[in-house]
């Protein structure tokens, strides 16, 4: 029900999720005649596109995060609630956060998605993904510990396994990780070890389709692959991972089956919607796709509940070109701004035409001085793509917060070819006992999220 | 045994600990005709004096850490070993790192000290200290979670407990923490919450002696106390903590006993030497003081083992003025440089006069624009002390690494009165369920260090 302005209490908008979708919705409603409650289980907005730079030791988590309260402190109609939504009641129109019921007139769910192991969830402890700050710190720990372990390893076969990195998934995340680890191994760490020569590091990027960066134009996929190869990365397309167990990756290329011994396997593939999608489906009957994403209407609401919206990576919006919009930041941003506009129009008794995404292009960075950018009308590669990548990321970073430090950090790294944030930290890093049969798995199995 | 230069393999120097003492020793031996092995259980040098700024959300861990390999990469005679020394064999002259034996001709132990609970180690889970990066992240989590919990707390008594911070220990760490939390509560977070008014926060600084900053000149202790009071901190001297349990701090002031309800108790008191001091005592018969610090000779070696040195916070050097030199960075630095010089002199068949510390003064920051500096011949307070504090810290920070980002970050915070690094992260932060009887203790009890 939409409340009219005059005699009723202000319209209550509840937004679940402070990522690109949720935060842009909140910002767009800052001056609207509504009350907004933004709920997130973290106290900060995370700029996920740069998580791989935390994982490879260039940036710190705080460099790519903005405290939600700080971003929204000037929005006097907005309050931030730190908590996790466990249930939705579309009849009473409220969400449950712990014991607390939070009532809404309009509900926007923007809790995103993570990577998927295609049903093989037991692979997760062998091959961590990159979704949260903690994931990035753990990935960073594994990457840098691998070099330390190789330095102390006397058995040549085991040393080779420590110096072999396998990245599963040839989308932007996998490509950027591969490029960053190559720069690390072949440039940054070159002088830092005495027993090993880091230039012996092998980095494999595995992709199931016939080219990396499948959503990009084919010539850019080619350019990206050439850049990676020039950096020293081994790119293997049409390659499926059939098993990951302890330190062995089993892969299938056509009829051929191969095994690779690697102590550091990183996962950058698949899509799995956040669990709240399922809750919503149970409570409202809305349908979800195979990845768990919620099928939305042309105006981003869900069937039979015009006051419940789903945006961002959690949404499956296929009304524009027959297949779902990709789970990228600009889509979430535009969807959030659209819904904010729609809410305000409805309050005046109006509506808006259906949502239409304006695709301004895709970007992926390979390494310093080299990126690919598909802007539709123009395709860039190499140095100019990289410059464009820089400017776009800086723009997004300073949108919510002033990340001058990131710019300085990048400038410094560029000049010195160094990486300042390559700490091995976290509970699993103490004490460090690297023995010849060391593995990361005990550590991950013991990682339990704990209630405060 | 000291090897002469001509016919024997190079002199093997093993340094345990990459803090101020160990790292300055290694740097000073970079061009000496010795082989150096630096062993640390972390892969980075940590600038501990600024840990409190990580704990209060101004800086990130990487801003105050330098990767050891990077610092020492140009020292071709130096290798870095990531590991923990579990045993020392002074007969064979080797240290044990896991299964590996690392032989030495000269051994320097610089593993430092941490805070002490005066025998009440069970207080640790209620009142964490500030020694490692993980400590700082955990402290940060508690500080920022307290405000979040208060925001959701409906019971006024419990809310008051969430908005009460108790810091135990009136030395530089405690003073700096108190000042930083006061700035946070009364300035930075003022506009960020809707249900609570953070200016209602109470911050108590408890000190057992008759004044805070006891090593400083009395008029500076007074100035610091006045600054803190002006900021809104409640300073209680001649106050001993007799118990900490769940959310209650029991204290004794003269004959009076009081109880304070606080959900966030931070420990910044006491000294306890690292465990390797005990190992050394068992293996060599050297004596330790009550805090476990190793009693050293006038040349920083230990009795009956002229080729084993102990420096930094682990050492008790009382030959200069009858009581041990304080556990501060400049002492460790000068001791490290002295031992490096002594090793080189011995190789030529010479020696050096006994170690003499040059005390250039003490510094403590209260808040932006306010600090105290005791430089002996001159005492500074207020703005000039703060400027001096800044310059000294910048000098130390860039000594090993270029921390331009820290300078930019500080400059930005100063201008905007904001803090960019106030994330709640770590395993214990997920999922966050703040209920009215929430406590941090379950989380800490489950924090197990895990082997890689």
Residues A192 and A219 in one domain: yes
- Residue B1 counted as domain residue: no
Q: What is the CATH number of the domain that holds A300?
A: 3.50.50.60
* Boundaries of domain holding B333: 11-115+272-347
- Average pLDDT of the residues of chain B: 87
Per the structure, the count of domains in chain A is 2
* A242 contacts: CB under 8 Å, gap ≥ 6: A250, A251, A252, A257
Q: How many CA atoms lie within 13 A of A20 on its CB side?
A: 22
Q: How confident is the model at residue B398 (pLDDT cuts 50, 70, 90)?
A: low
Most trustworthy range by pLDDT among A188-197, A365-374, A423-432, B402-411: A188-197
Q: How confident is the model at residue B445 (pLDDT cuts 50, 70, 90)?
A: very low
Q: Using the predicted structure, report yes or no on whether residue B433 has a pLDDT greater than 50.
A: no
Are the C-beta atoms of residues B271 and B116 closer than 8 Å to each other?
yes
Structure confidence at residue B400 (pLDDT): 65
Q: Is the dihedral of CA A350, A354, A355, A361 positive or negative?
A: negative
- Residue B382 counted as domain residue: no
Query: A5 vs A241, which has greater pLDDT?
Result: A241
Cβ–Cβ contact A154 with B under 8 A: no
Query: B277 vs B413, which has greater pLDDT?
Result: B277
Q: What is the CATH number of the domain that holds A445?
A: 3.50.50.100
Cβ–Cβ contact B77 with A under 8 A: no
Structure confidence at residue B404 (pLDDT): 67
- Compute the 3-state secondary structure of chain A and give helix, strand, coil in percent, each to the nearest 5: 35, 25, 40
User: How far apart, in Å, are the Cα atoms of A285 and each of A102, A289, B15, B325?
Assistant: 21, 13, 66, 72
Q: How confident is the model at residue A257 (pLDDT cuts 50, 70, 90)?
A: very high
Query: B417 vs B218, which has greater pLDDT?
Result: B218
Q: Which of A74, A98, A448 lies nearest to residue B435, judging by beta carbons?
A: A98
Domain termination site, one of B347, B380, B401: B347
Overall average pLDDT of the B340-347 stretch: 96
* B449 contacts: CB under 8 Å, gap ≥ 6: A427, A428, A430, A431
Q: How far is A46 from chain B (nearest CA, A)?
A: 10
Q: Are A83 and B424 inside 8 Å of each other by CB?
A: no
Domain termination site, one of B347, B362, B383: B347
- Residue B27 counted as domain residue: yes
- Residue A408 counted as domain residue: no
Q: Are A81 and B152 inside 8 Å of each other by CB?
A: yes
Overall average pLDDT of the B241-270 stretch: 94
Catalytic residue among B153, B176, B335, B337: B176
Structure confidence at residue B405 (pLDDT): 66
Q: Is the dihedral of CA B92, B96, B100, B102 positive or negative?
A: negative
Cβ–Cβ contact B100 with A under 8 A: yes
Tell me: the pLDDT tens digits for B91-137?
Answer: 999 999 988 999 999 999 999 998 899 989 999 999 999 999 999 99
The number of C-beta contacts closer than 8 angstroms across A and B is 221
- Residue A375 counted as domain residue: no
DSSP classification of residue A233: E
Percentage of residues in chain A having pLDDT higher than 70: 88
Tell me: the pLDDT tens digits for B223-241?
Answer: 999 999 999 999 999 999 9
Q: Using the predicted structure, report yes or no on whether residue B434 has a pLDDT greater than 50.
A: no
Domain termination site, one of B299, B315, B347: B347
- Residue A367 counted as domain residue: no
Tell me: the pLDDT tens digits for A266-303?
Answer: 999 988 999 999 999 999 999 999 999 999 999 999 99
Reduced to 3 states (helix: H, G, I; strand: E, B; else coil), residue B411 is helix
Q: Are B452 and A149 inside 8 Å of each other by CB?
A: yes
Residues B78 and B196 in one domain: no
Rounded to whole angstroms, how far apart are CA atoms B227 and B371? Answer: 8
> pTM for the whole thing?
0.83
Least-confidence region, from A332-336, B238-242, B381-385: B381-385
Residues A189 and A280 in one domain: no
Nearest to B62 by CA among A310, A170, A405, A206: A405
- Residue A391 counted as domain residue: no
Residues A260 and A276 in one domain: no
Q: Using the predicted structure, report yes or no on whether residue B81 has a pLDDT greater than 80.
A: yes
Q: Using the predicted structure, report yes or no on whether residue B16 has a pLDDT greater than 50.
A: yes
Q: Are B43 and A422 inside 8 Å of each other by CB?
A: yes
Q: How far is A196 from chain B (nearest CA, A)?
A: 11
Are the C-beta atoms of residues A101 and A87 closer than 8 Å to each other?
no
Overall average pLDDT of the B289-316 stretch: 97
């Amino acid at each position: 029900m939409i409340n009219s302005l005059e005699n009723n209490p202000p319209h209550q908008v509840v937004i679940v999720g402070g990522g690109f979708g949720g935060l842009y919705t909140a910002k767009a409603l800052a001056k609207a005649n509504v009350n907004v409650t933004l709920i997130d289980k973290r106290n900060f907005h995370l700029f996920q596109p740069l998580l791989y730079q935390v994982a490879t030791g260039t940036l710190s988590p705080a460099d790519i995060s903005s405290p939600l309260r700080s971003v929204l402190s000037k929005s006097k109609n907005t309050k931030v609630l730190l908590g996790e939504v466990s249930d939705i009641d579309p009849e009473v129109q409220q969400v449950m956060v712990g014991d607390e019921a939070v009532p809404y007139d309009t509900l926007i769910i923007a809790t995103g998605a993570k990577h998927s192991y295609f049903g093989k969830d037991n692979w997760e402890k062998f091959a961590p993904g990159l979704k949260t700050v903690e994931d990035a710190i753990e990935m960073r720990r594994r990457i840098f510990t691998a070099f330390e372990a190789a330095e102390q390893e006397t058995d040549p076969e085991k040393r080779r396994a420590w110096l072999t990195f396998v990245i599963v998934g040839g989308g932007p995340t996998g490509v950027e990780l591969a490029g960053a680890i190559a720069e690390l191994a072949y440039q940054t760490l070159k002088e830092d070890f005495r027993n090993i020569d880091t230039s012996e590091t092998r980095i494999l990027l595995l992709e199931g389709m016939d080219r990396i960066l499948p959503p990009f134009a084919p010539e850019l996929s080619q350019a990206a692959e050439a850049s990676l190869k020039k950096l020293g990365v081994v790119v293997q397309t049409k390659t499926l991972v059939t098993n990951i167990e302890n330190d062995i990756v089993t892969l299938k290329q056509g009829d051929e089956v191969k095994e690779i011994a690697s102590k550091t396997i990183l996962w950058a593939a698949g899509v799995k919607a956040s669990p709240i999608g399922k809750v919503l489906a149970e409570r409202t009957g809305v349908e979800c796709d195979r990845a768990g994403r919620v099928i939305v209407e042309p105006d981003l609401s869900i069937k039979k509940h015009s006051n419940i919206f789903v945006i961002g990576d959690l949404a499956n919006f296929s009304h524009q070109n027959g297949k779902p919009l990709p789970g990228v930041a600009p889509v979430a941003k535009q969807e959030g701004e659209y819904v904010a506009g729609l809410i305000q129009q409805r309050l005046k008794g109006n509506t808006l035409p259906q949502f239409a995404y304006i695709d301004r292009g895709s970007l992926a960075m390979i390494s310093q001085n080299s990126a690919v950018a598909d802007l539709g009308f123009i395709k860039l590669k190499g140095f100019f793509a990289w410059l464009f990548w820089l400017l776009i990321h800086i723009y997004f970073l300073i949108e919510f917060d002033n990340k001058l430090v990131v710019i300085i950090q990048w400038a410094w790294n560029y000049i010195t070819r160094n990486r300042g944030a390559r700490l091995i930290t976290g509970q699993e890093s103490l004490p460090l006992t690297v023995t010849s049969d060391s593995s990361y798995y005990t550590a991950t199995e013991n990682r339990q999220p704990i209630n405060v």
